[in-house]
Homo-oligomer: A and B are copies of this chain.
Amino acid sequence: MNLDLQPGQKLARGVARHLRSHNFVSVEEFVPTRGLRVDVLGLGPKGELWVIECKSSRADFQSDNKWQGYLEWCDRYFWAVDIDFPTELLPAESGLIIADSYGAEIIRMPDEQKLAPARRKVMVQKFATHAARRLQALRDPGIPPEMLP
């Protein structure tokens, strides 16, 4: 199953699995603000917010000119790459996760830059909304478009 996932989506699946073992839940392709979309947003039991960007290749990393914009939307920021990725390319202050389709390991835990409480509140609300919308879309695919605002 899920054999048709893109390379980055495979990494995201493994990351999402691993986050569960930290008692975090997660969503994919989350939009914190217009024009930004993070690969994985993890939410911890105390409202901790981690962003994980999944890079399947050197080119995928080098073409990303938006990642610094993600830092202000999370407490910790990680890269997730596969075992063959040249990790020396990655900023040393970011977190590092080695992942595949089936799981992942946190290799380097980055320092925490705590979000302001007001922003955390908005982000948890947005996370809840994103997850519930995706869940409903899977459970009830027949919902008529005119019922969606």
Contact = CB atoms under 8 A, between A and B. Distances in A.
Interface of A: 1-2, 13, 16-18, 20-21, 23, 25-27, 43, 45, 47, 103, 121, 124-125, 127-129, 131-136, 138-144, 147-149
Contact of A149 (B20, B103, B147, B149): B20
A43 B138 contact: no
B26 A132 contact: yes
Contacts of A1: 141-142
A45 B149 CA distance: 12
A63 to B, nearest CB: 27
A145 to B, nearest CB: 11
A18 B149 CA distance: 10
Nearest to A23: B149
A43 B129 CA distance: 8
Given A124-B128, A128-B131, A20 B138 contact: no
A97 to B, nearest CB: 15
A57 to B, nearest CB: 23
30 contacts: A1-B141, A1-B142, A2-B140, A13-B140, A16-B136, A16-B140, A17-B140, A17-B143, A20-B136, A20-B148, A21-B147, A25-B132, A25-B133, A25-B136, A26-B132, A26-B136, A43-B125, A43-B128, A43-B129, A43-B132, A45-B129, A124-B124, A124-B125, A127-B128, A128-B128, A128-B131, A131-B131, A135-B135, A138-B138, A138-B139
